[in-house]
Structure formats: structure tokens, C-alpha cells
Amino acid sequence: MTGNRPVVVFLPGCGSQASQYDNETGWSKWADQMKFILIFPQTTTAQPDDCFRYYLPEHQMTNAGEPLSVIQMVNWVQTHYNKDPKRIFVTGFSAGGATWASEPGSVP
């Protein structure tokens, strides 16, 4: 039963692939052991540094750009796993952390 599990969204920093960071830190292992759902958004930009583009105005709004993509991922998990919106947490570092800091409180 996954109904009571919290959701953690982890936003990696520049030059860091989500899978690489997960392999190095063990987030998936912790998610399995502690019974939370983990979402690892990955930027798909053609930028050479693989950064979230938090510094551009079009990516600093809830309903646009990369923040919208992250919210859509969270909404998908909520729809398919009946998650409580009060148990969704976001963490990240470098550009990933800045992505969410640019639009605080934007998880529905």
C-alpha cells in the first residue's frame, strides 16, 4: 500500500545527472527502506552544463517552464498513488535548489 507514503522531489545541481547522484548518495535505497516515493527530475536542456534554468524569467513561474514540469510530475504521482499534498517535500542543491527557491510554495 503506497497511500500513506510521503513524496520527496530531489532536484540535482548543474552537471549532475539524477541517476548518477542517486547512485552516489543512495536516495533510492533510503526511499525503499523509509517508505517514501522519490521523484528525480532531470533537466533535458541542451545546455553544456545540464543546469536547470532557474535564472531565466520564464522558469521562475509556477505554471511555466521547468517548475511546471516538476509540478506535473508531482501531480502524476498524486493521481496514480493517491498522495496527500501535505506530505510532499522538495530538496536539491545548486541549480536544483535554486529552481525551487525561485517559486516557493508552488507544489499544489
* Catalytic residue IDs: 94
In angstroms, the CA 107 to CA 7 distance is 11
CA torsion angle 63 66 71 77 (round to 10): 150
Kindly report the length of the chain: 108
Q: What is the grid cell recorded at 23?
A: 547512485
Cα gap 54→6, rounded to integer Å: 25
Q: Are 24 and 106 in contact (CB under 8 A)?
A: no
